Amino acid sequence: MMALTSSYFDAGALVGVLTTQPLDRVLDYRAPEGGCHLGAFVEVPLGPRKVLGVVWGPGKGDYDISRVRSVIRVLDTAPMREELMSFLTRAGDYTLTPMPAMLRLATRAPGLGDPPSMRKIYRLGDTDPERMTDARRRVLAVLRDMGGLSLTLKELAETAGVTSSVVKGLAKLGAVREEDSPRDTPFPTLDPAHAGKDLTDDQATASATLRGAVASRTYGTTLLKGVTGSGKTEVYLEAVAECLAQGRQALVLLPEIALTSEFLMRVDARFGAKPAEWHSGVTMTDRRRVWKMTAQGGAQLVVGARSALFLPFRDLGLIVVDEEHDTSYKQEDGVLYNARDMAVLRASICDAQVVLASATPSLESWANADAGKYARLTLTSRFGAAVMPDMHAIDMRNEKLPGSSWISPALQRAVQRRLDNKEQALLFINRRGYAPVTICRACGHQIGCEHCDARMVEHRFLKRLVCHQCGETKPLPTVCPSCEAEDRLAAVGPGVERLAEEAQTLFPEARLAVLSSDMFGSARALKAEIETIAAGGADLIIGTQLVAKGHNFPLLTLVGVIDADLGLQGSDLRAAERTFQLMRQVAGRAGRAEKAGQALMQTFQPEHPVIRAILSGDEQDFWNAEAGERRAAGVPPYGRLAGIILSSTDVQEVFDLGNALARNDAPLRRIGAKVFGPAPAPIARVRGRHRVRLLVKASKGTPLQPALMDWVAPFKLKGDLRMAIDIDPQSFY
C-alpha cells in the first residue's frame, strides 16, 4: 500500500529506511501499526539485531515483498525535518560520504529509543523552617528568584553556594518540595530583551545590520571582521537576540572547548540564562537532553563544537562560526568535512543567516566577501580603553643566546619589567611536550614510534615519550635502544614544558601556568585553569596555540613568541596564511584592558614577507599578495583540490593501488583535472598502516565529485586496504 501523502505512510505501506549501519542503500520495511511519518526515527530488524534508522521515503519495492519485515517501533521523538534530511544528503554528496555515516553524525546522542527517564527537582515549599541559617536563607532566596521554576539538586546547591545536605534538610522540613520530573526538560528561557552592554558606534552599526539580516528570515552570510578585542562577540549576540525575538533557534560554534566557560557567562549576562552546550565535555545524559530539546524547540540557543551543526533544530534561524579561520573546524577523520562550509550549506537550506567572525579570516572567506558572495562588516578598534598591542621583532641573529636556551635577553628584560609591574606575561611556542626529538649522542639514533614514521616527543611532566600521531607512549629510556649506550640520550629542541623549565629558572619568583591541551585530564580542569589565570592566579603563562583561541586575560600586557619562524617551514600551501593568523591572534591576547600591551616576536627572518606583514598590521596587503599567489597557482580558493589517502598494512599493496589510479585517470582528464602522485604521505606510517597520497587539482567550478566517483568506482578494495577522499583538504600529512 502506498502512502496517502508524501509525508505519511499507513500501516503496512512500504517505506525506505536509512539505517546507521554501513550499508550502501536504503532498506525496504513495512510501516508499523499506526503508520509513520517521513523522517520518523524507527527501530528496525537487521538480521538478528535491532538497529536505529530514519524513514527516508517510500520503499523501492525491488526486494522480494514476501521477505520484507516490519518496522519494530517508532521512537518517541520528533521526526527528522526535511530540511535536515536535505542537508545530510547534500553534505554527503559534497564530501562523498556514504549516507549511513552522515546519519550517524545526526544521531550522536545515547538512548534515543529509551523511555523518558526521571530525575529529582526542587521547588519552593509552603513553609519556612523554624530555624533559619544563612545557607538555608540563600537556598530559599534562589528559589524565590526563579519565579516558580525548578532546579536539580546540583543546580540549586551550586547557585546558592551550599552543600546538597542543606537542600535535602529543607526538603524534609517542607520548605523545599522534592518532585520527580522528566530528565529531558526544556532549557531555561533566554530573554532577548534583557539589557546588554552599551555598544560603541562601530558595534551598534554592525549589530543593527546583522539584526536586519536575521529579521528578513532569508539566507545570507556575513563576514564579521574585527581586530582582537573589538567586541565581535557582543555584536553577534545582538544577532542572536533578534533571532530569539523572531521565535527561531540559534547556534554558535566555537573552535575550542576551553572557550565555552567564559562564553557561557557572557550569554548569561546578555540573556539572563545559560544556553544548551554540545561538545565532548558534556555528559551523555546532557547530550540526549540537548538533542531532544533542539528537536522540540526547548533549546533556543546551542553553543557547541563543530558536530553541533548536525543537531535536529526545529527552526534554525542563525549560525555563528566564531574564529571561523580556525583549523579545528575541519574534521580530519571519519567524515571529512569543514564545519564553516557546512554551516553555510545548512543555512541556505533553512533560510537562516550565517555570521563568520574572526580577526584574521580565512582566505576562502576573505575571497567570498571580496567577490560579493558574503556581506562584510568591519570593527576597526578595540572596545573601551583598550588599544592594539605594539608589535616588534627580536632579530635572533643579534642576540647572544646559549645553544640550550630559547628566551632571548631582550625578551627576558621585557618579561621582567611586566612582572615588576604586577602584570602578566605570556610566552608562546607552538610545540607540545618537552622536546620534539630525543637523540643518542653516541650513534645518532632518533627515538621514533614503533607504529608510525614519527619521532616520539618527550613529555617530562609525564616522564614518558609520546607519539603525537597515534598516542603510543613509553617510559623515558636511560639506554639507547639502538646502540645500548647509557646516559647518552639528549633532548633536542624546545617544547612548551622545556620552555616552562627555562622560564622558572630565569624568573624564580614568578607563578607559572602552563597551557597545553595534553596537560589536563579533562575539559573541566582546563577551563578551571583558564579561569584562574584570568583572575590573576599566575604571573607568567607558557602556552601552545591553545592560548591563541579567544581567551581574555585582563592583566596580560606582554606576549613573547619564542619561534615566529616555525610555521613558515614546509610546503603547505596555507603555511603563510596560518602563520599570519596565529601570530596576530596570539599577539591579540595582550593589552585587552586598560593597560597597553606589547607583542615581541623572536625570529631569524625579520625580513620575511609574512613577518613584515604581521608587524606592519597591513592585513589588506597581505591578503592581496596571498590571493595573487593562489590565483596564479590555481589553488583554493581560486581552484579545487581533492586528496586521496590510501592506507594498508602492506606497503606494496597500497602503492600498487595508487599507481593504478594514476594510470587510469581518464574520468578526471575529461574535466581538465590533473592527478599528482602517488607519493608517500609526509608521515608515511600511522598506527602500523602505510599511507600513500594522491592530489587531484581542478579549476574552480569544475564538477569534481562526479568525476572522482567515476574514477575510483572500478577499484574494489580488498583485505585491509582503505581509501579516503578529502574534498578541500586543509592538511596534507
Q: Which residues, at least 6 apart from 35, have a Cβ–Cβ distance to it below 8 Å?
A: 8, 9, 10, 11, 13
Q: Are residues 265 and 342 in the same domain?
A: yes
221-225, 230-234, 258-262, 384-388: least confident range = 384-388
Half-sphere exposure of 549 (CA within 13 A, CB side): 27
Question: Are 333 and 208 in the same domain?
Answer: yes
> How much is the pLDDT for 385?
46
> What are the grid coordinates assigned to 472, written together?
603510543
Considering the domain architecture, whether residues 125 and 207 belong to the same structural domain is answered as no
Instruction: Evaluate whether residue 270 is within a structural domain.
Output: yes
In this prediction, residue 101 has a pLDDT band, given cuts at 50, 70 and 90, of very high
User: What pLDDT sits at residue 148?
Assistant: 64
d(C-alpha 30, C-alpha 265), whole Å: 49
pLDDT at residue 4 is higher than 60: no
Please tell me the distance from the alpha carbon of residue 140 to that of residue 160, in angstroms, as a whole number.
9
Q: What's the pLDDT at 549?
A: 66
Q: Is residue 413 part of a domain?
A: yes
Domain finish residue from 469, 493, 517: 493
Does residue 175 sit in the same domain as residue 219? no
**Among 617, 635, 653, residue at a domain's last position:** 635
Say what the pLDDT of residue 117 is.
Answer: 72
Q: Which of 119-128, 164-173, 579-588 bottoms out in mean pLDDT, i.e. has the lowest? A: 579-588
- Answer yes or no: is pLDDT of 204 > 90: yes
Q: The CATH number of the domain where 30 resides is what?
A: 3.40.1440
Read off the pLDDT of each residue in 335-362 and give the average, rounded to a whole number. Answer: 96
Q: Which of 190-199, 475-484, 536-545, 581-590 has the lowest mean pLDDT?
A: 581-590
Residue 344 lies in a domain: yes
Q: What is the CATH number of the domain that holds 661?
A: 3.30.70.600
CA distance 331 to 343: 13
Could you tell me the pLDDT band of residue 2, with boundaries at 50, 70 and 90?
A: very low
Which has the closest alpha carbon to 131: 194, 173, 189?
A: 173
The CA distance from 310 to 287, in Å, is 13
Q: Is 92 within the bounds of a domain?
A: no
Render pLDDT for 455-471 as a digit per residue (tens, 0 to 9): 888 887 778 888 877 78
Task: Say if residue 409 is in the same domain as residue 520.
Answer: yes
Q: What is the DSSP letter of 279?
A: S
Taking residues 588-615, report their average pLDDT.
81
Q: Which of 117-131, 329-343, 545-559, 692-706 has the lowest mean pLDDT?
A: 545-559
Whether 527 maps to a domain, the answer reads yes
Q: Which of 381-385, 504-508, 723-727 has the lowest mean pLDDT?
A: 381-385
Domain-located, residue 107: no
Between CA 477 and CA 91 the distance in angstroms is 47
Higher pLDDT, 665 or 610: 665
Residues 620 and 699 in one domain: no
Which grid coordinates are listed for 468?
A: 603525537
Q: Is the pLDDT score of 76 beyond 70?
A: yes
Give residue 32's Cα distance to chain centre: 40
Q: What is the pLDDT of residues 232-256, one digit of tens each?
A: 999 999 999 999 999 999 999 998 8
Q: Is the dihedral of CA 732, 565, 256, 85 positive or negative?
A: negative
Peptide bond into 637 cis (omega under 30): yes
- Is it the case that residue 591 has pLDDT exceeding 70? no
Contact of 485 with 440, CB cutoff 8 Å: yes
Q: Confidence band (pLDDT; 50, 70, 90) for 205?
A: very high
| Strand bridging mode 49-58 / 41-46 | antiparallel
- Do 157 and 58 belong together in one domain? no
Q: How confident is the model at residue 186, as a pLDDT? A: 86
pLDDT of residue 36: 95
* Measured distance CA(223)–CA(200) in Å, rounded: 19
- Which has more confidence, 567 or 270? 270
Q: Using one digit for the tens of pLDDT, what is the confidence trace for 278-303?
A: 998 888 888 999 999 999 999 999 99
Q: In this prediction, what percent of the chain has a pLDDT beyond 70?
A: 95
| Tally of structural domains, the chain | 6
Read off the DSSP letter of residue 481: T
Instruction: Using the predicted structure, report yes or no on whether residue 386 has a pLDDT greater than 60.
Output: no
For residue 388, pLDDT over 80 is answered with: no
Residue 224 φ then ψ, to 5° = -100, 100
Radius of gyration from C-alpha coordinates of the chain: 28
- Over the chain, what is the mean pLDDT? 88
In DSSP terms, 118 is beta-bridged to 182
CATH number, domain with residue 349: 3.40.50.300
- Only one residue has cell 606494496, namely 652
pLDDT of residue 1: 33
Answer yes or no: do 527 and 581 share one domain.
yes
Residue 188: inside a domain? no
φ/ψ (deg, to 5) at 183? -70, -35
- The CATH number covering residue 135 comes to 1.10.10.10
Residues 425 and 452 in one domain: no
- Based on the fold, state whether residues 244 and 329 are members of the same structural domain: yes
> Is a pLDDT exceeding 50 seen at residue 551?
yes
Cα(548)–Cα(255) distance, integer angstroms: 11
User: What is the 3-state composition of the chain as percent helix, strand, coil, each rounded to the nearest 5?
Assistant: 35, 25, 40
What's the whole-number mean pLDDT along residues 408-434?
91
The DSSP output letter for 619 is H
Predicted confidence at residue 3, as pLDDT, reads 38
- Dihedral over Cα of 502, 614, 551, 352: its sign: negative
Query: What is the pLDDT at residue 490?
Result: 85
Last residue of some domain: 83, 104, 134?
Answer: 83
In sequence order, what are the residues at sequence separation of 6 or more whose Cβ sits closer than 8 angstroms to the Cβ of residue 287? 108, 109, 110, 278
User: Do residues 442 and 570 share a domain?
Assistant: no
Q: Nearest 5°: phi and psi at 365?
A: -70, -40
Most confident of 110-119, 312-321, 600-609: 312-321
Domain contains 88: no
β-bridge mates for residue 35, sequence order: none
400 and 498 assigned to the same domain? yes
Q: Tell me the average pLDDT across 352-381.
A: 93
Q: Is 126 exposed, middle or buried (0-12, 13-18, 19+ CB in 10 A)?
A: exposed
Asked if 283 and 50 touch (Cβ cutoff 8 Å), the reply is no
Domain residues for the domain of 553 are: 385-431+494-635
